[in-house]
Homo-oligomer: A and B are copies of this chain.
Amino acid sequence: MTRWLDDDEQGAWRTFLAASQLVQEELDRQLQRDSGMPHAYYAVLVKLSEAPDRMLRMSELAAEVNSSQSRLSHAVARLEERGWVRRERCAADKRVSWAVLTDEGFAVLAAAAPGHVEAVRQSFFDLLDPEQLHRLTEICAVLLKRAAP
């Protein structure tokens, strides 16, 4: 007894998918082109830059950027190769490792941010009036809420 989608639902679903894909791809392309990193890596640098002492445990960082541990581990490995992030073993619990944003990583982020913010405005904020923005955020929060448990 499949509850198939009617035409309106089809349209709604495809519009949502297309819009979110479009925005993400644009932003990803912009960062790759102008700063040589995918959006996922940028998110890692941002979260680290906002953390106390610019460092976070891998598992915490993974949660913050909505990434699997595996994905983050690979990502940090690449960022480490570039010298933008450094890993430190935790003395108290040797299983955990801290990801630390290096000064070079911070500088790269600082250089990337203005262009990225501008792109976000062009692909997102500049297209919506305050009312639409508010409603969209509310609705996205609903979609997210169920993810908690």
Residues of A at under 8 Å CB distance from B? 2-5, 9, 11-13, 15-24, 66, 113-114, 117-118, 120-121, 123-125, 127-128, 132-144, 146-147
Contact = CB atoms under 8 A, between A and B. Distances in A.
Contacts of A144: 15, 18-19, 22
Copies of this polypeptide in the complex: 2
B124 A22 contact: no
Of A3, A9, A17, the most chain B CB neighbours within 10 A belong to: A17
Nearest to A20: B20
B23 A24 contact: no
Contact of A142 (B12, B114, B128): B128
A56 to B, nearest CB: 16
Nearest to A136: B139
The list of the 3 closest CB pairs from A to B, nearest first, reads: A20-B20, A19-B140, A2-B114
